Structure 1
Amino acid sequence: MTTNPEQPAPSGAHEIPPEILTLRASIDNIDAALMHLLAERFKFTRRVGELKAAGGLPPADPSRDRQQIERLTGIASAAGLDPDFAEAFREFIVHEVIRHHEHIAAEHAAAGGSVPVLDTYS
């Protein structure tokens, strides 16, 4: 949470340096961008889940997972990010995607097998 630079610091508290406020604003912007990127990612993975359900494919793809782990840990290393963190973050996201795919597969089976149309504007 950022401190409003217009608001005085609470009594007894140290004033927050302007550079920290600027850095926090940038961090907040990056956090917002990450949320938007994740929302976009989940739109696409939802469609993958729908297509997997229609094709009778399993929600998880271990071969793809291994390829992605190798690719993303390499990217993380090159970017100066801890590859273990990158793998843990990817695992968190993939777990959520698989949960969505399992739910989609169940919905697909209950609906008699129709494939929903991707609404890219939703």
Structure 2
Amino acid sequence: MSAEQNSGPKDELAKWRVEIDAVDHSILELLTQRFEITEEVGRFKAARGMNPYDPTREASQIERISQLAQEYGLDEAMVQSVFGVIRERVRDRHAEIANTETPKVGPSFTLLEQMRIKFRHIHHDPVLTISDVVGIFDLPPSNMVKVMIFHARTPDKYIVAALRGSDKVDWKKLANAARVPRHGLTLVDKEQVESVTGIPLGGLKPFGYDQRFLVIFDSDILKIRTVLCSAGTNTDSLALLSSDLLRVSGGIKASIRQNTGPT
């Protein structure tokens, strides 16, 4: 076979490869533009104290990408995989922007940073109840940590009871865990929460209390790897490992929830 006959296919392949390289270059240019736009979105949200993560928006993106993949005759799983990586990077970047550009909540963050605990800070609209938090984050209550403040008369001390958002306190178990008489245990009224803790209603956190307080974590919290809890205000929350949350609280672990069957 002559050299001229061999050169034909090679030239054709070389031409296609040049075209592929040009398409790749265009894809990367478009990807850069996309990240530049999402960077502006992240800064816009941070400047206005908006939640960096919007699950409704993400769900609509997934549906839209599915439709586009079908329209272009592409493998949907492959396309969703590519855009899944993009969304993950954008989420991480938005969380990073929110952490650096949103005012931090003093001692809570200082303590976490001193202990080198990784966390994600989320600034959001004011909340008062677990239902409010569910409405913002679209997460099950079992992934959230709620806090209730109790007072024991003998000995005189306060108890910070931390449970999953879906659970209820078993008073007898709580008294046993705190080693106080059940009859001397009372729940601090909502109207007194701020005067007792210095924290507004809706912002009770499960860590960062002084020696007057005993923090007790319900054991089932540790069944959830990553949990959401208040950062000490009703407009700031934290996402972190449940084991790290227990560690930073300096509290004890015990079964203090009401039994409602297997979980």
Do both share a fold (TM > 0.5)?
A: yes
User: Quick one: which of 99, 109, 117 aligns to 2:92?
Assistant: 99
CA distance in 1, matches of 2:103, 2:47: 12
Identical pairs, percent: 34
Structure 1 residue 99, shift from structure 2 partner = 1.1
Quote the offset at 1:79 in angstroms.
Answer: 0.3
2:20 match: 27
Residue aligning to 2:157:
none
User: Structure 2, unaligned stretches of length 5 or more?
Assistant: 1-5, 105-263
**Map of 2:61 onto structure 1:** 68
CA positional deviation for 1:98: 0.9
Render the CA deviation track for 1:41-96: whole Å, top value 9, x for unaligned: 11110010011112222222111111111111111111011111111111100111
Q: Structure 2 length as normaliser, TM-score? A: 0.35
TM-score of the superposition, structure 1-length normalised? Answer: 0.73
- Quote the Cα distance in structure 1 between the aligned partners of 2:67 and 2:18: 30
Q: Could you say which structure has the greater relative contact order, defined with CA pairs below 8 angstroms and 6 or more residues apart?
A: 1
Higher percent of residues as strand: 2
1:41 maps to which residue? Answer: 34
Q: Are positions 1:87 and 2:87 aligned together? A: no
Could you say which residue in structure 2 is the equivalent of 1:3? Answer: none
Aligned to 1:54: 47
Instruction: Give the 4+ runs in structure 1 shifted more than 2 A.
Output: none
Q: Give the total of aligned pairs.
A: 98
Higher helix share: 1
Higher Cα Rg, which structure: 2
SS in 2 for 1:60: coil
- Between 94-103 and 15-24, report the one with greater CA deviation: 15-24
